[in-house]
């Protein structure tokens, strides 16, 4: 069997070799020799260490040194780890620094701890606590670090409390106050502690001279062979460490090494350096650089010198600062301002790649963001390659190493950093940093462009607003999730004008702006073309687009037939003064079945490239504003993170600063835009979610139920009402949702018992309440318009229904339920199975919650129905006098009036304070302000993205959205919730299957869902397999352990995990976690009837002729740089022949396996993917947010493998399809067909939804058509759409002539798509309807075509 350690294998991207760092004395000359082994995170110490050892071997009479060094990441490789063990076995001294990766820290401890007593000294500089505890210098140890009292640990704790500093900062401060501390120690201990602290100073000094002093001092005092040989000889007197100041300004050609004040620096720089360099200090932009001191100490600074030279050659001034520790906020505050307190920099680039405060260890993002906002300049965080050589990065499809992505991309983003551009690599042999010339040039260009936004006169600035058209069609121009695009553009144009931008003769109405871009918003013209802003000849195109010939492999020579008139490439859009509103071309392969099948996505087409060439080189935009979620730029082929010059997002965006309006509820794709297209994001609010309500027969049913409750004891009237309820339930197709709904023809309630009648009514009522209370985002959002008071109530009711134990907040429904002696979870359980009393009580609690929140908001609502200022109900004098007079607070009175007189006011205090805070956040809209801050070259405050109901910190919008620290998930709370969902899922499946558990479940994981829920669905996968995530001493989750079968109490369930391309980009470390957990289960020596993973992996290993470990691959996604199965694209654009094509696309595009043993790549493993899928009994997805449901977007069915599995299974049986719905506190598991019906009833067929959409005009028709098309998508991939859904939709939108006319007049192109969808659903066998309906649709199609063509 293969080795069971899941972390071993070919080093993660890292193919460098410790032998390059091995130094053996050429001639010992009879001197005693000590062997030193060191492990470091980064390689800049390599050259200094090598030089120091060579100097000792050449010049010392007392000792010789053998030395070997390892980069931390190399220890993943089996061979390197074995060699490391051997080296430590006969070492005298071990040195470690910055060991902050948990699983590698464990490997270091595993090897060094057993040898610690035999080693002469162990020196560990800032690292994880368990590694720090290995320290040993004579009697000085840190073995109680973090566990018990000691002078040093007390000092460290006090420092942390005083100023929030990290461990390393504490150690630096300890160095400065060393004499005071040493007074308290016994003299021998003081000497050893002094040696340790001196060693740390030498290490921080980093130069060959400092490291030579370190080795000589430790050698003669502690290394046994040398110590003995030194008896009676004079020791070398330790020279003081040659140290640079802790913080200063550095310049490579300055006469002084560093400057400790910026007045001295600028005195030299402006008066001596700039004149010689041809820089005008008065007009030059100033770029601030943040550097890592260790690179200056070790003189490993070529990459810094290179960027400084490039910036200065472009006419910029540069001020480069460093810090001795990992908190760079001090030097920023000290050196980036002049004496009068004005900022002197125009752009800041952090070249360390680390968070501004705390580096890789522990961060203070809040402090960092405050420091950066005060400075208020664009803040870029560029990344030096640490764990890969330049060649390894260049060859890797994934790009930047996952550990580096977590430490040096994700964490700086939480500070508000933008543009993670790789600017330096390292040389394999020497470990020295080398600048990457084209990346350094790009970084210099882009930082200058951001500076230009601050300094250029507003009236001269050119802004390109880019809108999207998806799927490409005239009826779809201006697509963006939940955004009223043209109304929002009108708002942005108004704001630009008010701030002095030249918007020419831009119209000030939505319709006229649409008219200008579309030519005619009614599209009553013979040509489907939009307004042409520019025709680019092919000569001009090839001349201005350096990579144009690379596109010919996929698209042939320009101009091609996309965005072209046959001769020229065509740019669509309209110019108003210095503002251009342009339409981004689409991918180009939407309707081409062959291209959709390619496992890897094609390059952009010539028209797409021409569009961005036009923006940068011809229109000469100063910035581009991408308008809404989302376009195609960030999803073009290239590396996942850490773009190279051949990656298409990098080539397309060039040097253009990009601001990107992104929906606040979609942080995952926003993060892709930030990392791959270098965009600073501005979040916008999604429309508030309201209850779906009831209509037609559903409304009638609720009224009948209400009548029944009043007359249920009446033996004459009661049964008659039940008969009407049963009849109406059949009419509205609730028989599909209620298994035992009585048969219409034979049932008579008067022959039934009262209990049975209650049971029937309770089940119908439960269904009705599910539909009525379903959350529904209403209408579309306009940028800069905060919600009305009524809309705020809808959001706050949803916020109030969740328990928040971490904030000591009970949910409103829980407190109301407790007032009648009930537990809310019990009521939910009764409600879900249709217990009439519980359904009724749950409905009353919902009404009482809404009334209470409305009363709270009413206190702050003005006469226009908006909330301008939030009045607190706690600090008003009126509430004091009201209390004296015996008056109840309005929200308490509302609950009492709703029938709950005993509600406990004290239990609601925390919740009410929280709701008031949330109301302030909801109305504090900064969307237009946020856009302008970026366009004016300022720092935009960071904010998390996600679901504002689960995490109100997402509000206010208008901030630079980030995801989360990927190593923080799944959280313990997410694990607890997911355990509950898995329990419900397995109970439901066992009940439906005679008590037997499913053997295998196909799972889909999404990036945004896991950000919003902090990893709930990820935790579900681990729970099914029977492994638990384990967090390290810094709270990061990067380990898993098996739960013993006896504790699990059920078999381990096999899983086949299909990760979205976005999940793969954001959470590659979590894919590693899952793969290791699944392989751990596969290799566990357990009976196969209790371990289905092992059972299937053994069968597959035999079938495919591979090892058990290889056969246990279960974590799949797209190839790096590709996204989606293209099933959604095919269905949206009609580019598919039959279902087999869709299934083939899914298998080809999603069949790339992640392997923790060689995690630098996604390997195509289609046969393994098919082999795993054919054992699947159940397909499963999660719905976690009311804003995005299964017919709102194509993503859900794009990744649904239901029919794929049916085709692969030996028995051809379709697996059961389930959805977990955690959109409310009452989490439920439903079948896919139940979920589709619920979605159709609450959206597509619901007047509240479609009238809300139609009120926004042109965009609204498109939104309705999108829901219809996505519903058909579920027919294609899962066959789970009932016939009545299409039939009822046809009645609503086609049979009703008035509705037909409204749709046709508002957006004829989108209406034509709707007619096409109905015809296609019928033609493909998904909708069985009358010939009369089909004839009407065919006639209508011809009529709409004529209308569009202007006949």
Mapped to the 3 state alphabet, what secondary structure does 976-1021 carry?
Answer: HHHHHHHHHHHHHHHHHCCCCCCCEEEEEECHHHHHHCCCHHHHHH
- Higher pLDDT residue, 610 or 389? 610
Look at residue 170 in the predicted model and tell me its pLDDT. 57
- Bridge partners, 68 (sequence order): 37
Segment 566-583 shows an average pLDDT of 94
Structure tokens at 522: 């009614």
Look at residue 878 in the predicted model and tell me its pLDDT. 46
CA distance 1272 to 1177: 24
Segment 99-127 shows an average pLDDT of 92
Instruction: Place 596 in a pLDDT band, splitting at 50, 70 and 90.
Output: low
Residue 6: pLDDT over 50:
no
3-state DSSP: the chain helix, strand, coil percent, rounded to 5? 50, 15, 35
Among 373, 437, 451, CA closest to 959? 373
Look at residue 872 in the predicted model and tell me its pLDDT. 75
The answer to which of 210-214, 405-409, 1110-1114 has the lowest mean pLDDT is 405-409
The answer to which of 68-72, 120-124, 423-427, 852-856 has the lowest mean pLDDT is 423-427
CA distance 1038 to 1032: 7
Size of the chain in residues: 1351
Residue 907: pLDDT over 60:
yes
Instruction: Place 1037 in a pLDDT band, splitting at 50, 70 and 90.
Output: confident
Whole-model pTM? 0.86
Look at residue 1011 in the predicted model and tell me its pLDDT. 84
Look at residue 55 in the predicted model and tell me its pLDDT. 94
Hey, is 1216 helix, strand or coil? Answer: strand
Instruction: Place 474 in a pLDDT band, splitting at 50, 70 and 90.
Output: low
Look at residue 299 in the predicted model and tell me its pLDDT. 87
- Range list of H helices, 876-1000: 877-884, 890-897, 909-923, 927-935, 972-992
Instruction: Place 325 in a pLDDT band, splitting at 50, 70 and 90.
Output: confident
Instruction: Place 181 in a pLDDT band, splitting at 50, 70 and 90.
Output: low
Among 91, 92, 121, 127, CA closest to 109? 127
Look at residue 226 in the predicted model and tell me its pLDDT. 92
Segment 795-801 shows an average pLDDT of 90
Look at residue 1351 in the predicted model and tell me its pLDDT. 59
Asked whether the beta carbons of 538 and 568 are under 8 A apart, the reply is yes
Q: Which residues contact 1194 (CB under 8 A, 6 or more apart)?
A: 1127, 1128, 1129, 1131, 1132, 1270, 1273
Instruction: Place 178 in a pLDDT band, splitting at 50, 70 and 90.
Output: low
Look at residue 2 in the predicted model and tell me its pLDDT. 25
- Bridge partners, 1115 (sequence order): 1057
Mean pLDDT for the chain?
A: 88
- Give Cα separations from 876 to 851, 872, 880, 1051, 1102 (angstroms): 21, 7, 7, 59, 75
CA distance 36 to 122: 10
Residue 52: pLDDT over 60:
yes
Asked whether the beta carbons of 828 and 1226 are under 8 A apart, the reply is yes
- Higher pLDDT residue, 805 or 161? 805
For 33-46, b/e burial (b = at least 16 CB within 10 A) is: bbbbbbbbbbbbbb
CA distance 345 to 794: 45
Look at residue 521 in the predicted model and tell me its pLDDT. 42
Write out the E strands in 1184-1269.
1216-1221, 1228-1231
Sign of torsion over alpha carbons 369, 375, 376, 380 = negative
Instruction: Place 525 in a pLDDT band, splitting at 50, 70 and 90.
Output: very low
Residue 1288: pLDDT over 80:
yes
Q: Give the rounded distance of the alpha carbon of 1075 from its chain centre.
A: 20
- Range list of H helices, 523-645: 538-544, 552-555, 593-597, 606-613
Residue 349: pLDDT over 90:
yes
The answer to which of 50-64, 231-245, 371-385 has the lowest mean pLDDT is 231-245
Among 23, 74, 69, CA closest to 44? 69
Q: Give the rounded distance of the alpha carbon of 673 from its chain centre.
A: 11
Instruction: Place 189 in a pLDDT band, splitting at 50, 70 and 90.
Output: low
**How many beta carbons lie within 10 A of that of residue 889, not counting itself?**
21
Instruction: Place 1066 in a pLDDT band, splitting at 50, 70 and 90.
Output: confident
Among 121, 62, 70, CA closest to 91? 121
pLDDT digits (tens, 9 = 90+) for 689-747: 788 889 999 999 999 999 998 888 888 898 999 999 999 999 999 999 998 899 988 99
pLDDT digits (tens, 9 = 90+) for 547-572: 999 999 989 999 998 899 899 999 99
Hey, is 1229 helix, strand or coil? Answer: strand
CA distance 377 to 345: 8
| Best-predicted range by mean pLDDT (491-500, 785-794, 1248-1257) | 491-500
Residue with tokens 């060689």: 1158
Among 279, 298, 294, 306, CA closest to 382? 306
- Range list of H helices, 1083-1176: 1092-1104, 1108-1111, 1127-1133, 1139-1150, 1166-1173
Segment 460-479 shows an average pLDDT of 80
Look at residue 678 in the predicted model and tell me its pLDDT. 97
Asked whether the beta carbons of 1048 and 1035 are under 8 A apart, the reply is no
Residue with tokens 């053994």: 1098
Hey, is 659 helix, strand or coil? Answer: strand
Structure tokens at 270: 């402006």
CA distance 478 to 69: 57
Residue 1221: pLDDT over 90:
no
Asked whether the beta carbons of 386 and 942 are under 8 A apart, the reply is no
Look at residue 165 in the predicted model and tell me its pLDDT. 46
Residue 336: pLDDT over 50:
yes
Among 1073, 784, 737, CA closest to 956? 784
Residue 70: pLDDT over 80:
yes
Residue 865: pLDDT over 60:
yes
Hey, is 105 helix, strand or coil? Answer: helix
Look at residue 151 in the predicted model and tell me its pLDDT. 45
Q: What is the 3-state secondary structure (H, E, C) of 734-788?
A: HHHCCCCCCCCCCCCHHHCCHHHHHHHHHHHHHHHHHHHHCEEECCCECCCCCCC
Write out the E strands in 293-431.
317-323, 347-350, 379-381, 383-384, 422-426
**How many beta carbons lie within 10 A of that of residue 567, not counting itself?**
10
pLDDT digits (tens, 9 = 90+) for 260-276: 999 999 999 999 999 99
Whether residue 970 has a cis bond before it, omega within 30° of 0: yes
pLDDT digits (tens, 9 = 90+) for 133-175: 999 999 888 876 544 444 444 544 444 444 444 555 555 555 5
């Amino acid at each position: 069997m293969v080795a069971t350690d899941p972390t071993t294998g070919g080093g993660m991207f890292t193919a460098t070799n410790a032998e390059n760092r091995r130094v053996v004395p050429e001639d010992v000359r009879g001197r005693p020799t000590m062997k030193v082994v060191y492990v470091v995170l980064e390689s800049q110490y390599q050259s200094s260490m090598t030089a120091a050892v060579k100097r000792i071997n050449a010049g010392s009479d007392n000792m010789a040194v053998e030395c070997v060094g390892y980069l931390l990441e190399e220890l993943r490789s089996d061979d390197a780890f074995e060699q490391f063990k051997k080296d430590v076995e006969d070492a005298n001294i071990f040195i470690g620094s910055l060991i902050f990766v948990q699983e590698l820290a464990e490997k270091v401890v595993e090897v060094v701890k057993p040898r610690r007593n035999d080693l002469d000294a162990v020196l560990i500089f800032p690292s994880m606590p368990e590694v720090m505890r290995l320290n040993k210098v004579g009697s000085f140890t840190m073995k109680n670090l973090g566990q018990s009292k000691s002078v040093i640990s007390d000092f460290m704790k006090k420092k942390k409390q005083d100023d929030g500093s990290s461990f390393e900062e504490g150690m630096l401060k300890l160095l400065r106050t060393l004499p005071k501390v040493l007074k308290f120690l016994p003299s021998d201990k003081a000497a050893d502690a002094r040696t340790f602290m001196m060693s740390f100073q030498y290490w921080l000094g980093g130069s060959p001279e400092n490291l030579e002093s370190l080795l000589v001092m430790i050698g003669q005092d502690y290394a046994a062979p040398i110590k003995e040989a030194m008896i009676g000889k004079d020791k070398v007197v330790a020279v003081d460490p040659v140290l640079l100041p802790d913080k200063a300004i550095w310049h490579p050609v300055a006469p002084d090494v560093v400057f400790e004040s910026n007045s001295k620096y600028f005195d030299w720089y402006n008066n001596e350096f700039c004149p010689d360099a041809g820089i005008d200090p008065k007009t030059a932009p100033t770029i601030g650089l943040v550097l890592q001191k260790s690179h200056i100490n070790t003189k490993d600074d070529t990459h810094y010198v290179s960027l400084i030279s490039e910036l200065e050659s472009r006419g910029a001034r540069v001020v480069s600062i460093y810090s001795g520790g990992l908190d760079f906020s001090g030097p920023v505050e000290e050196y980036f301002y002049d004496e009068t307190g004005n900022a002197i920099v125009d752009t800041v680039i952090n070249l360390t790649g680390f968070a501004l405060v705390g580096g890789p260890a522990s961060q203070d993002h809040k402090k960092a963001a405050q420091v950066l906002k005060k400075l208020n300049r664009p803040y870029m965080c560029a990344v030096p390659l640490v764990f890969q050589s330049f060649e390894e990065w260049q060859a890797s499809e994934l790009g930047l190493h996952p550990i580096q992505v977590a430490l040096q991309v994700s964490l700086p983003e939480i500070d508000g950093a933008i543009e993670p551009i790789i600017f330096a690599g390292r040389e394999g042999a020497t470990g020295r940093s080398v600048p990457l010339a084209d990346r350094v040039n790009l970084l210099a260009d882009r930082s200058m462009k951001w500076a230009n936004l601050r300094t250029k006169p507003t009236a001269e600035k050119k802004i390109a607003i880019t809108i999207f058209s998806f799927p490409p069609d005239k009826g779809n121009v201006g697509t963006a999730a939940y955004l009223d695009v043209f109304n929002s553009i009108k708002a942005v144009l108004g704001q630009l004008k008010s701030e002095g931008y030249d918007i020419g003769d831009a119209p000030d109405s939505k319709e006229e702006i649409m008219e200008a871009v579309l030519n005619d918003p009614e599209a009553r013209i013979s040509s489907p073309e939009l307004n042409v802003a520019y025709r680019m000849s092919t000569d001009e195109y090839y001349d201005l687009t350096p990579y144009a010939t690379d596109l010919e492999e996929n698209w042939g020579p320009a101009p091609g037939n996309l965005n072209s008139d046959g001769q020229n490439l065509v740019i669509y859009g309209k110019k108003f003064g210095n503002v251009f509103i342009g339409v981004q071309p689409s991918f180009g392969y939407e309707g081409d079945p062959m291209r959709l099948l390619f496992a890897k996505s094609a390059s952009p087409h010539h028209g797409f490239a021409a569009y961005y060439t036009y923006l940068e080189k011809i229109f000469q935009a100063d910035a581009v504003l991408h308008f809404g979620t989302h376009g195609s730029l960030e999803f073009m082929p290239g590396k996942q993170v850490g773009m190279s010059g051949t990656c298409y997002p990098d080539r397309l965006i060039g040097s253009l600063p990009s601001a990107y309006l992104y929906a606040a509820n979609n942080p995952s794709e926003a993060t892709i835009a930030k990392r791959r297209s270098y965009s600073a994001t501005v979040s916008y609010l999604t429309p508030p979610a309201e209850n779906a309500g009831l209509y037609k027969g559903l409304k009638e049913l609720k009224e009948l139920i209400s009548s029944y409750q009043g007359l249920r004891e009446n033996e004459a009237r009661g049964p008659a009402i039940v008969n009407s309820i049963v009849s109406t339930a059949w009419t509205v197709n609730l028989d599909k949702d209620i298994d035992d709904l009585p048969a219409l023809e034979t049932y008579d309630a008067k022959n039934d018992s009262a209990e049975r009648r209650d049971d029937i009514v309770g089940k119908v009522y439960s269904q009705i309440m599910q539909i009525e209370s379903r959350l529904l985002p209403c209408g579309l959002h306009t940028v800069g318009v905060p919600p009305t008071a009524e809309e705020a109530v809808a959001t706050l009711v949803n916020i109030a229904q969740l328990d928040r134990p971490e904030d000591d907040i009970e949910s409103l429904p829980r407190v109301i339920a407790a007032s009648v002696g009930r537990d809310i979870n019990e009521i939910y359980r009764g409600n879900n199975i249709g217990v009439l009393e519980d359904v009724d009580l749950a409905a009353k609690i919902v009404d009482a919650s809404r009334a209470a929140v409305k009363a709270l908001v009413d206190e702050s609502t003005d006469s226009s129905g908006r909330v301008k200022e939030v009045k607190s109900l706690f600090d008003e004098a009126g509430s004091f006098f009201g209390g004296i007079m015996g008056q109840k607070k309005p929200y308490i009175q509302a609950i009492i009036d709703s029938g709950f007189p005993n509600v406990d006011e004290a239990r609601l205090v925390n919740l009410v304070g929280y709701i008031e805070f949330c109301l302030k956040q909801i109305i504090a809209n900064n969307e237009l302000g946020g856009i302008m801050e970026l366009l004016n070259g300022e720092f935009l405050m960071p904010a998390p993205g996600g679901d504002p109901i689960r995490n109100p910190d997402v509000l206010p919008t208008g901030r630079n959205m980030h995801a989360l620290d990927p190593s923080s998930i799944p959280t313990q709370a997410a694990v607890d919730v997911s355990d509950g969902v898995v329990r419900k899922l397995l109970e439901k499946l066992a009940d439906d299957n005679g008590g037997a558990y499913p053997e295998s479940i196909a799972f889909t994981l999404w990036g945004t869902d896991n950000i919003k829920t902090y990893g709930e669905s990820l935790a579900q996968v681990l729970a099914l397999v029977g492994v638990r995530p384990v967090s390290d001493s810094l709270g990061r989750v990067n380990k898993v352990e098996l739960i013993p079968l006896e504790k699990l109490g059920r078999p381990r369930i096999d899983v086949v995990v299909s990760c979205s391309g976005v999940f793969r980009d954001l959470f590659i470390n979590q894919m590693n976690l899952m793969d290791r957990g699944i392989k751990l289960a596969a290799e566990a020596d357990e009976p196969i009837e209790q371990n289905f993973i092992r059972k299937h992996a053994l069968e597959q290993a035999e079938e495919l002729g591979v090892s058990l470990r290889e056969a246990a691959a279960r974590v799949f996604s797209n190839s790096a740089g590709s996204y989606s199965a293209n099933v959604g694209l095919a269905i949206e654009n009609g580019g598919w022949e039959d279902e087999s094509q869709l299934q083939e696309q899914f298998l080809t595009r999603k069949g790339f396996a992640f392997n923790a043993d060689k995690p630098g790549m996604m390997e195509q493993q289609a046969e393994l993917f098919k082999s795993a899928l054919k054992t699947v009994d159940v397909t499963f997805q999660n719905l976690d947010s009311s804003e995005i449901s299964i017919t709102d977007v194509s993503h859900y069915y794009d990744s649904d493998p239901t029919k794929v599995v049916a085709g692969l299974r030996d028995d051809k049986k379709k697996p059961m399809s389930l959805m977990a719905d955690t959109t409310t506190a009452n989490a439920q598991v439903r079948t896919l067909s139940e979920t589709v019906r619920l979605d159709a009833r609450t959206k597509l067929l619901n007047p509240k939804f479609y009238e809300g959409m139609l009120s926004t005009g042109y965009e609204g028709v498109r939104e309705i058509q999108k829901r219809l098309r996505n519903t058909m998508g579920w027919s294609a991939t899962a066959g789970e759409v009932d016939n009545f859904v299409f039939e009822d939709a046809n009645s609503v939108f086609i049979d009703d002539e008035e509705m037909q006319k409204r749709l046709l007049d508002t957006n004829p192109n989108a209406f034509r798509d709707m007619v096409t969808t109905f015809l296609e659903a019928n033609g493909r066998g998904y909708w069985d309807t009358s010939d009369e309906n089909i004839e009407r649709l065919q006639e209508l199609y011809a009529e709409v075509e004529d209308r569009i063509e202007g006949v």
